[in-house]
Chains A and B, each alone.
Chain A
Amino acid sequence: MIAHEWTRRRLLKTAATFAGAGILQPVLPLVGAGKTAEAAYPEEVLDIDQYTKGRVKVGMIIDKNNADLIKDIAPEGLYYELKQGWTRIKIGKTNPDESALIPVPWTEATLRNKGRAVLDKTGNVWDRSPGTYWIGGDPFPEPKKALELIWDHGFSIRRYDDITITVTDEVIDPSGSQAHLSDAVAYKIQTHGRIYVDPKPSIDDYADNLFRQVFTTLSPFDVNGLSSLSIVFYDATKYPGLDLYIPTLKRTHSVPTTQRFDTLGPYGVEFVSDFDLQGDPILTWGWTVADRKPMLLPSAVNLGARAPAGSTSTDSFVFAPEPAVRFPTTTWELRPDVIFLDGQCHIPGCPYGKKRLFFDLISRRAQSADMWDKAGKLWRFAMFSWGMSGIKTGGYDVPDLTGIEFCDLQSGFHEHFHFYNKIEGIPFAVNSGYTIDQIASDAALQRASRR
């Protein structure tokens, strides 16, 4: 407990004038020197054994019987899941190396462009050269306020110029039975902050976009071929555009995008708003820092469906796909420097009273969130786990999302997404050099139609 208090005081003192990660010294220069964040923190926040005075150890399995041991260092939603017996977790060793979660070229761009980003009076991010869009890397690697944190998280959540994602989506009902299963392929093209493939750093023809994302469902039968094109604008006060290709209509159709709080399909637990933990334009929410302390967050060992064949028989705590399991077992580790970023939604119809993102200052990304309803009752919990995909591009390892878990704590429904390196012959890929005309326009949506 003494360690808890000491560290908490130090972190809060740092938080009062916080400028990025690090207690003993800033993290960023260490990363620039090719080191991990280890030297920036006292040992007791890098070792859960010391931090909890031996009550919690690396390798320990936490379930409903001993969940109270981690109550103070876990998101409320995770604690609730554990107490209900809906999941179990394993405690992993803290990994202070940000390259486990962030691609190396992106970190290099972050270091290269450090200090260049500015916010305008509306809160949009720009390069310091007047009228220049942000050029890539996290814009605020040493953030001084909440809005800068959320821009680091959301400017380019995947940290690639383009990405092809292959995913399955499974819903488990409150009885623990599989209620729905679908699979899909998605493409995302970043329009600004491009650092890998030409055109760099921007696609000028689509200058007022931030990114475009196409999501095509392959199964089950009633949504086979259903595609959506989301156009997220650079101006983060503006609602995205949304075009749908609906197989029964045989054409693309634009729809209102104020429906941020609709589920994606039958049985869905998640809202459109929940994707990437902050799926709405950043400035449609208001952000404040509520706390800063060491917390448990998903470990990079959670490789999900990409875990090597046979490895899950010896260690199943990797978010591996298992049929009809509410919340697959996962590994969580003590992250030394976590900010509680509270969001208040300004979108009409939003059912959330508050959303709390657990923002890891070392990787500058949130990986889990608690959400409360308007009555102030804890409602949902979400976990986004990141890890190595197992592929390389340009000589670098490619970390990416390995799994997503959405939990409706009030109804008991659970939904998980597993990411694969290939589905229906479509491979996972990054920086393929796609153009918007090929993949992510109204005409491209029609061209890709299957039925």
Chain B
Amino acid sequence: MMANGGVIIIRKLAFVLLMCVSLVCVSLPCVTPPAAWAQLNFGPVQVTGFYRDTLYLSTDHSNPNNRNLVRNGKKPDIVLAQQFVDLAFYWPMDQHFSLLFEPRLYHDFTDPLESGFSHTFRAYDAFPREFRGNGLMARVGSREFMAEADQLYLDYRNGPLWIRAGKQSIAWGEAIGVQILDIVEPLDLTRQLFVDRAFEEFDTYRIPEWFIRANYTIPLPQLDIPDFTVETLVNPGQTVPQLLPAQGSPLNLVTSVVKFRERVRQGQPTVGARLFGTFKNDYEFGLYALSFPDGGGAALAKGLVPDKRGFPLLGPGAGLFRVALDNRHPRSNMLGWSLSFPVNPLGAFIRFENANRVDQPLVKFNRVVRRARSQFFFEIDRPVYWIPKENALNVTFNFTEQYTYGSKHNVTEIGTPLDPTRQTAVLFLQQPLFNSRVSLESLTIYNTDGDFWLQNGFEWSYGNHQKVDAFYNHFSGSGSEKRQGGSLAALTFARGMFFRYTWGL
């Protein structure tokens, strides 16, 4: 006992020491003068990038999804501790060609750091990608370290023609932070779910895939659309599912009764096209079509698998089992449109977006069924000057309605009964202060089922190279303890505060 107690004390001291080091890192900008220089150049290659430390402290209960998968039922103190390096090498070869290579390096030290405190977790893979064909993601590493070629592409520009070929991040649509038309590529939720700083949207979540993307501008002055542009994109067959945190990891989303397995079939192309332009200078429009393997997928039960961390599903004494759940990614097709324009008398900007999935994959009696689904999005942006001599308060409000057509009887989605109509309202406020050195930010996402997510915090820019931010995530909702996947209220275990320190070139 004494020995154990000694180890615990040493671990706690080590934790306190680490916290002190982190605090010194965070407070360093207060005491050191900022140095400033531009990005690095190696011959014609321009290099920029940053290093980031993230520490996410839990303030609530243990993750109920991890029952049996962790050492104890204690609330973890730390749900994420990571280092992240993002570099961008940009080589403008001539007026037509340029090359971009953006490697990213990650180091996760959540488990070692947390072990000094609650000692909750068993070893888990911080960067899971267990599916066939994952080598195309250009990721290598171990449970705690990962290196990837996040983006690697060649650009060709010649007058109105642009071609980008390679591994690239593609975002479509007007809606920011809401996936309506922005579904070309799946998201990687393995690191911090989707609850990192909201203002940065999906930059570190979106999984770049191998695409050839081309667009061509055809002026149509007779229709008052001088910048009419046609864009096509083709991914010849790389399929990547939406990546979820490993089961047993702090932010795991999948109940431990289930053994979740990705079943990915490579060779399914993604093909898309959009037409966009500006009508009468003010009205920006887009028409979209996309055919792709659904990243979210539909999960089907495949029987029981014996597992020493399982449950006595066949009765006492019959052994421990978990339900094998295979997530498949059938093809889906989407048609949509977007429209945005200023409303000058209101000093506002209005956006509309609509996506229609004719064959959204869902599950009924453990079989994939298809349903048509529509999503409608409306947003208003309105800056307000209310603090003398300070920048405007940016106010963004948006509302999304999702409707699923056809019979809903016994149809499930993410393991829960299908909700045919879902409404979500988002209010985002951003107030820059002190010549934009500090940005106060507040995000509220309210779902009409009664769930909500609040993220409040600030980012402080110090000099050219350093940023510190701190945000608090709060999830709640009516009957939150009973709610299942797909509900914000089911994320109460992710309540907590995260701090980030960033140093950049």
Q: Which residues of A come within 8 Å of B, CB atoms?
A: 168, 170, 177-183, 204-206, 208-209, 218-222, 224, 231, 233, 238-239, 241, 247-251, 253-259, 261-263, 265-269, 348-349, 351, 373-374, 411, 413, 424-425, 435-438, 441-444, 446-448, 450-451
Within 8 A of A (CB), among B457-483: 461, 463-465, 467
Q: When the two chains form their complex, are residues A261 and B176 in contact, meaning their CB atoms are under 8 A apart?
A: no
User: Nearest chain-B residue to A183 (Cβ)?
Assistant: B38
B212-248 CB mask vs A (1 if < 8 Å, else 0) is 0001010101000011010000000000000000000
CA distance A117 to B97 in the complex (A): 44
Q: Is the CB of A221 within 8 A of B226?
A: no
Complex interface: chain A residues within 8 A of B464 (CB)? 180-182, 220
Contact A263 B276 (CB under 8 A): no
Which of B88, B382, B504 is in CB contact (< 8 Å) with A222? B504
Kindly report which residue of chain A lies nearest to residue B170, judged by CB atoms: A250
Closest A residue by C-beta to B229:
A443
Q: Output the nearest chain A residue to B465 by Cβ-Cβ distance.
A: A220
Residue of A nearest to B49 (CB): A221
Chain B positions within 8 Å of A248 at CB level? 200-201, 203
B residues near A205, Cβ cutoff 8 Å:
219, 221, 226
Q: B76-100: contact bitstring with A at CB < 8 Å (1 yes, 0 no)?
A: 0000000000001010100000101
Contact B201 A249 (CB under 8 A): yes
Q: State whether B227 touches A269 (Cβ < 8 A).
A: no
What's the nearest-Cβ distance from chain B to residue A323, in Å? 9
Chain A residues contacting B50 (CB-CB under 8 Å) are 221-222
Contact of A239 among B277, B344, B465 (CB under 8 A): B344
B421 interfacial by beta-carbon distance below 8 Å: no
Q: How far is the CA of A41 from the CA of B432 in the complex (A)?
A: 50
Cβ distance B393 to chain A, nearest Cβ, rounded Å: 10
Say yes or no: B206 contacts A221, CB within 8 Å. Answer: no
Are the C-beta atoms of A447 and B157 separated by less than 8 Å? yes
CA separation between A171 and B13, bound complex, in Å? 42
A447–B344 Cα gap in the complex (Å)? 28
Q: Which of B63-71, B139-147, B278-286, B406-414 contacts A (4 or more CB under 8 A)?
A: B278-286
**Which chain B residue lies CB-closest to A411?**
B435
A447 to B96, CA, bound (A): 11
Size class of the B contact interface (CB-based, 8 Å): 35 or more
Q: Which residues of A contact B92 (CB under 8 A)?
A: 425
| CA gap between A378 and B385 in the complex, in Å | 21
Within 24-46 of B, Cβ neighbours of A (below 8 Å) are at 33-39, 41, 44, 46
Residue of B whose beta carbon sits closest to that of A247: B203
Cβ-defined contact, B227 with A437, below 8 A: yes
Please, how many angstroms separate the alpha-carbon atoms of A268 and B392 in the complex? 14
Residues of B within 8 A of A251 (CB): 171-173
Contact A241-B505, Cβ < 8 Å, known A224-B88, A251-B171: no
Contact of A443 among B200, B217, B432, B463 (CB under 8 A): B217
Contacts known (A233-B281, A248-B200, A351-B389); A181 close to B436, Cβ less than 8 A: no
Residue of B nearest to A209 (CB): B281
Known: A256-B381, A374-B388, A413-B435. Is A220-B39 also a contact (CB below 8 A)?
yes
- Contact present for B391 and A263 (CB under 8 Å): yes
- 9 example contacts (A-B, Cβ-Cβ < 8 A) are as follows A182-B464, A220-B48, A224-B88, A249-B201, A258-B383, A259-B383, A266-B436, A269-B435, A442-B278
In Å, the complex CA distance between A203 and B304 comes to 70
Q: How far is the CB of B53 from chain A (nearest CB, A)?
A: 15
Question: With the chains together, A404 CA to B203 CA distance in Å?
Answer: 34
Query: Is the CB–CB distance between A253 and B176 below 8 Å?
Result: yes
Given A250-B170, A374-B388, A451-B88; A256-B383 close (CB under 8 Å): yes
**What's the least CB distance linking A232 to chain B, in Å?**
11
Check: B151 CB closer than 8 A to any chain A CB: yes
- B174 at the binding interface (Cβ < 8 Å): yes
Set of chain B residues within 8 Å of A177, measured between Cβ atoms:
33-34
CA distance A221 to B465 in the complex (A): 8
Asked if B450 is at the interface of the complex by the 8 Å CB criterion, the answer is no
What's the minimum C-beta distance from B159 to chain A, rounded to whole angstroms? Answer: 6
CB distance from A129 to the nearest CB of B (A): 21
B385–chain A nearest beta-carbon distance, Å: 3
When chains A and B are docked, how far (Å) is the Cα of A43 from the Cα of B34? 51
- Which residues in A have their C-beta under 8 angstroms from that of B176? 249, 253
Q: Which A residues are CB-close (under 8 A) to B391?
A: 259, 261-263
CB of A229, distance to nearest CB on chain B (Å): 11
- Is A443 a contact of B276 with CB atoms below 8 Å? yes
**Within 8 Å CB of A269, what residues of B?**
435
Contact B160 A267, beta carbon cutoff 8 Å: no
Instruction: Indicate if the CB atoms of A443 and B162 lie closer than 8 Å.
Output: yes
What 0/1 readout, one digit per residue, does chain B (132-174) give for beta carbons within 8 Å of chain A? 0000000000000000000100010101101000000111111
**B residues less than 8 Å from A436 (CB atoms):** 226-227
Chain B residues near A265 (CB, 8 Å)? 436
In the bound complex, do residue A219 and residue B226 qualify as a contact, i.e. CB atoms below 8 Å apart? no
Q: In the complex, what residues of A have CB within 8 A of residue B8's CB?
A: none
- Which residue of B has the minimal Cβ distance to A423? B38
- Identify which of B88, B159, B383, B464 gathers the most chain A CB atoms within 10 Å of its CB: B464
B422 at interface, CB cutoff 8 A: no
B34 in contact with A179 (CB, 8 Å): yes
Provide the residues of chain A in CB contact with B467, threshold 8 Å. 222
Quick one: which of B215, B221, B432 contacts A447, CB cutoff 8 A?
B215
Q: Are B38 and A218 in contact (CB under 8 A)?
A: yes
The residues of B that contact A179 with a CB separation of less than 8 Å are 34, 36, 463
Chain B's closest residue to A451 (CB) is B88
For the complex of A and B, list the 4 residue pairs with the smallest distance between their C-beta atoms, beginning with the closest: A221-B504, A349-B385, A181-B36, A248-B203
What is the bound-complex CA distance between A253 and B200, given in angstroms? Answer: 14
A-B contact sample (14 more), CB < 8 A, given A224-B88, A373-B388, A450-B100: A181-B38, A204-B221, A222-B50, A222-B461, A222-B467, A231-B281, A249-B176, A254-B284, A255-B381, A258-B347, A258-B383, A425-B44, A442-B278, A446-B215
Rounded to whole Å, the gap between the CB of B386 and the closest CB of chain A is: 9
Tell me, yes or no, whether B348 is within 8 Å of chain A by CB.
yes
Least Cβ distance of A226 to chain B in Å? 12
Bound together, the chains give a CA A301 to CA B285 distance in angstroms of 48
Cβ-defined partner of A442 (8 Å) among B172, B200, B227, B348: B227
B172 contacts across to A, CB distance below 8 A:
251
Complex CA–CA separation, A204 to B35 (angstroms): 48
Cβ distance A189 to chain B, nearest Cβ, rounded Å: 13
Q: Complex: how many Å from CA A247 to CA B98? A: 17
Chain A residues with CB below 8 A from B35, complex form = 178
Cross-chain contact A219 with B432 (CB below 8 angstroms):
no
Given A265-B436, A443-B229 in contact, is the A221-B383 Cβ separation under 8 Å? no
B415: chain A residues within 8 A (beta carbon): none
Q: Which residue of chain A has the shortest Cβ distance to B226 in the bound complex?
A: A205
Q: Are A178 and B36 neighbours in the complex by a CB distance under 8 Å?
A: yes
Q: Mark B336-357, 1 if CB is under 8 A from A, else 0.
A: 0000101010011100000000
Shortest beta-carbon distance, B106 to chain A, in Å? 17
Residue in chain B with minimal CB distance to A224: B48
User: Could you say which of A219, A239, A348 contacts B38, with CB atoms under 8 Å apart?
Assistant: A219
Contact (Cβ within 8 A) B38 A220: yes
From A209, A219, A247, A435, contact of B505 by CB (8 A): A219
List of B residues within 8 angstroms of A256 by Cβ:
342, 347-349, 381-383
Closest to A266 in B: B461
* Structural contact, B389 and A451, CB atoms closer than 8 A: no
Closest-CB distance, A350 to chain B (whole angstroms) = 8
Does B102 belong to the interface (CB within 8 Å)? yes
**How close is A115's CB to chain B, nearest CB, in angstroms?**
31
Say whether B435 contacts A268, CB under 8 Å.
yes
> Which of A239, A249, A348 touches B385 (beta carbons < 8 Å)?
A348
- A219-B38, A231-B281, A451-B102 given; A262·B392 CB < 8 A: yes
